[in-house]
Amino acid sequence: MTNSQFTLLKKTFLLSSLSLLALPVFSADNSTQHTIAELVDAVNGTPDKASREAGKKVKLRNHAKGFCTSGKFEPNMALQETLNIPFFKQEEINVVARFSLGGTNINASDKGSGRFMSLKIDGDAGSINFVTSNAQPFFANNLDDFFIFQNKVKQGAAGKQWLKDNKPHAKAFFDYVEQRPTSASFENNRYFGVNSFLFKTQKNDIAPGRWFFEPVKGDNNLSKAELAKMPDDFLKETLLSSIEKDPAVWNLYIKLAQAGDEINDPTIVWPESRQRLLVGQLIINGERDKAPLTQQCGDTIFNPVLLPEGISVSADPILNARTPAYVESFVRRL
């Protein structure tokens, strides 16, 4: 694909996505509380017109520090014995991946423990995108609390303490993050999709579940002494140099809900004892890193509700706000 073709594709995507911005955004009590623009402002830290315009000039975005690479996905054909998802019948599917840190600071230090992995997997029977992180719980289960969280964390230590004192879900998230080790590479993390999706079974039933990626190479965490010796920028080079010799590999699973599990609340972590289904294997090897779709993947969005036949969204309000918020952020960067 040439650069001009990519630009045309991006414009076509934009025109087809703008209608999402008109969708209402509901809070926990089902009343419209925050517009998509307000939610993006909360994430970006742009509460007024002046800061918003300044943000547009520098193309402000969340997950600002990141890079793209490529690989493939090899489905587990045995999955079709349980689930009816034609997309996963293809033997090998191209993948574009973006690994990133959280936040709007493009110069953020890699010494924090947060890691994010987003994927575009485009096959013969449709496409699917993933938006995942190495945090298993989310910090809010409704858009009011999401809005409050984003504004309070911009206030530094005082705002964080307020959240710990007043928002139990935020406190649980911080407790999780504070004990999470710092990995030596993007490839040494479990990545979780905190939101639930609905999967069609071979019996035409619906099975709620959540995605998670398990690294085949396991954990490789840095001690405090090792971390202190690392530069602020080591993650990109570590991964890209590693996959030149040996691909980074994850097994993708669906963790299935059990009767009584809360489907629409991403702050609740289901027990490890829940049944899981092997979907296939993600292999990041950099084989198409020079292709325009890879080199320019940071200029697009990863749409978590772009789903193939056999998968649909749950009623999770956080999930259903993601795509219009991503589109709003994307439009501001044009």
pLDDT of residue 33: 72
Which among 243, 218, 282 is positioned nearest to 75, based on CA atoms?
282
> What are the helix (H) ranges across 46-102?
49-57
Q: Are 266 and 316 in contact (CB under 8 A)?
A: yes
With a cut of 50, list the residues of the chain below it in pLDDT.
1-32
pLDDT of residue 104: 96
Distance of CA 79 to the CA centre of its chain: 23
- What is the pTM for the complete model shown? 0.91
Please state the domain extents for the chain. Answer: 66-315
Q: Taking the domain 66-315, which CATH number applies?
A: 2.40.180.10
| Partners of residue 213 on adjacent β-strands | 191, 252
